[in-house]
Amino acid sequence: MVIEQILVGHMAVFCYLIGDEESGEAVLIDPASDFDRIMSFVDKYNFTIKKIINTHGHFDHIGGNRYFIKKTGAELLIHERDYFFLNKSVSRFLEFIRGGRAVKFDVRFIDDGDEICVGKHAIKVIHTPGHSPGSICLYIDGNLFTGDTLFTEGTGRTDFRGGCQETIIDSIRNRILSLPDETIIWPGHHYGRFPVSTVKEQKRYYL
C-alpha cells in the first residue's frame, strides 16, 4: 500500500493519495488545490483514482473535487451531514474558478462503520463530529486520516457552523484515542511542528 502526504495550497492543507500497487486502484482524500502537483503523485505510480473522499465539507478541503472528477471519473464520498457545504456559494465559486465548471456528478454518502475498498485494502469510516457535523476519520492498516478533527498539535476549530468544542473532544477521546497506541495520525493541515503523530503521543494531551 502506498500513502503519499501532499502539502497543497496557502492554507497548508494535506491531501492524501492512498493506493494499492497490485490493482493500481487509488483514492484521493481532500484534494484541495495544486492539482498538477497532486496528479504528479498519481502519475508516479500510474494509479487509477476510483474515489475522492472528503473528511468534511469545508471549502479548503473540497476545492479540487470537480477538477479531479472531471479528470478521472472518480466517485465522490462524503458524510451526509456535511453535504450542504458542497452547495454553499463560496465552495461552488472556488470550484468553478479552479477548473470544475460544468461538471456534474453523483455523491455517495458514507457513515460510521462503512468500508471503502482500495484494491485489496479496506478503509473504515469513523464518524468524528465536532469540527463539523459530518466530520469523519479514515482508518486503514494502522493509519488514521483525521481531517480537521485532530492535528499533531491541537484540534480543528469549533466556531464554524455546526461546530462544538465538547463534541470534538468527545470524538477525540472516545473514537480516536481508543485505537491502538501505534496508530499513525495523518492530519488535515500542517499546523504543528511535525506532519504526523501517533495515538500514544496524542493521549498525553487529551487523557
H helix and E strand count, the chain = 7, 12
Span 63-73, average pLDDT: 92
Query: What would the CATH number be for the domain defined by 2-206?
Result: 3.60.15.10
Whole-number Å distance between alpha carbons of 167 and 170: 5
**Range 177-192 average pLDDT:** 97
Query: Using CA atoms, how far apart are residues 206 and 204, in angstroms rounded to an integer?
Result: 6
Please write the tens of the pLDDT for every residue from 139-180.
999 999 999 999 999 999 999 989 999 999 999 999 999 999
Question: What is the domain partition of the chain in residue ranges?
Answer: 2-206
pLDDT of residue 105: 74
pTM: 0.93
Q: How far is CA 125 from CA 41, 47, 73, in A?
A: 24, 22, 22
- Read off the pLDDT band of 43 (50, 70, 90): very high
Cell numbers at residue 77, please? 464520498
Q: Chain-wide mean pLDDT for the chain?
A: 92
